[in-house]
Structures are given as C-alpha cells and as structure tokens.
Amino acid sequence: MDFEFLQNPITKKWVVLAPRRAKRPDVAKGFEPVCPFCLGREKDEQEVYRVGGEAGDSNWIVRVLPNKFPFAPIHEVIIHSPDHHKNFDELPLDQVEHILQTYKHRYNEHAHKGQVYIFHNRGEAGGESLPHPHTQLAVVPFEVKMDIPRLIPLESQNSNLKSEELHTENFFLFCPKSSQWPDEVWMAPKGRGRAFGEITDKPNF
C-alpha cells in the first residue's frame, strides 16, 4: 500500500504516512516533466470523469484522473481546463462553473464511501507539484476523525473572531482574525444545514 493512516496513541489525532509522494514531480526543485495535464496527453491515463468531448480526445473542458501518488483509498485530480497557465481568476465564468459542478458531481459520487475532502493548493508555498491548475479530491475513511472546525452561524460569532465581511446574495465572505495562514478567506453559505453535494445553481439554495 502506498499510504497508511496512523493514530497518535497520546493525542488521538490522525496522520497519514505516504512516503511514495516524495517521488512526485516537484517544480519547486526544478523537476518538471512534460505536463501530463495538457492537451495531447489524454490517452496516457484512463480518466474517471470528464466534461466535454469523448474519451481519449482533446475536446475536453474539465478532466478528472486518478492521482498517481495517492494518500487515500480514493484520490483524484481535477484538471481545471486545457490551459496550462490560467486559473480561477483568469478563466471565463462558464469554465469556473464547470469546475464547481465537477466538484459537486465527484463529491456526490463518493460521499457514501467516506469523508470527501476537496482542496486546491496553488504555488510553491502551497505545496503544488505541477503548475497546471488543478484541484485534488481525497476520500478519507469514516473511522479516521478529521480535525475540521464547525462553521457556526456567522451572526452568532463574536466580532473578535472575524474581520470585515463581504456579502453576496447567497454567501458571506470574510477573513478570520484567528486565521492559520496568510490571506485565509472563508466563504460561508447563508443557507444553513446543507451538505456540499446539495448545493444547486439556483439562488437561495
């Protein structure tokens, strides 16, 4: 097995041991192979999901591949677009919608199998190993307790916990004063009591 979940017998917190991930390509160390996510590489790996085109062709919008260096029983890579350089802030709105809809589809595909964790690490400081914009989805077994803070209703939070808020029709956006990393931003839905997989394209979900 390429990974193992281990529990600290004293603190009871869980960690994952995945030594094979040290063999990943690492652009920060100057090791960057021909990009496996760019156009023309569609037949190199069997994809598990795509938006647009037919299997094996280059007419895709979003692709999902198994992660070659997994740290969970199910570990996928969601490739944002064929563009090697553009990320969320530079992509057209309809492309961003396709990416978020893919998040929802893959979440619902795996929600009954474990705890679905979707994360997007970008840049050298974020531990990104390949520069082509992508997101990772990992499914952690239910028996592994994840240390995720509960998002309590914002209106009941003490003002010392958060800085200035922005509002949209359906979301609160704020930077917590107790942030754990630079430029941490939280996006919290105004509609409560919903799982990520239940979000809809309609206002006031």
For 165-192, the pLDDT digits (tens) are 777 887 788 887 777 777 777 777 777 6
pLDDT above 70: percentage of residues in the chain: 76
For 33-66, the pLDDT digits (tens) are 678 899 999 988 889 999 999 988 999 999 999 9
Report which of 73, 62, 72 is spatially closest to residue 100, judged by C-alpha positions: 62
Q: Decide: 14 and 6 in contact? Cβ < 8 Å.
A: yes
Radius of gyration of the chain (CA): 18
- CA 167, chain centre distance (Å): 23
Between 96 and 23, the more confident residue is 96
Domains in the chain, start-ordered, CATH in brackets? 4-140 (3.30.428.10), 154-192 (no CATH)
Q: How far apart are CA 8 and CA 78, in angstroms?
A: 31
3-state secondary structure string across the chain: CCCEEEECCCCCCEEEECHHHHHCCEHHHCECCCCCCCCCCCCCCCCCEEECCCCCCCCCCEEEEECCCCCCCEEEEEECCCCCCCCCCCCCHHHHHHHHHHHHHHHHHHCCCCEEEEECCCCHHHCCCCCCCEEEEEEECCCCCCCCCCCCCHHHCCHHHEEEEEECCCEEEEEECCCCCCCCCEEEECCCCCCHHHCCCCCCC
Q: How many C-beta atoms surround the C-beta of residue 128 within 10 A?
A: 17
204 band by pLDDT with thresholds 50, 70 and 90: very low
Mean pLDDT, the chain, rounded, equals 81
Q: Decide: 62 and 70 in contact? Cβ < 8 Å.
A: no
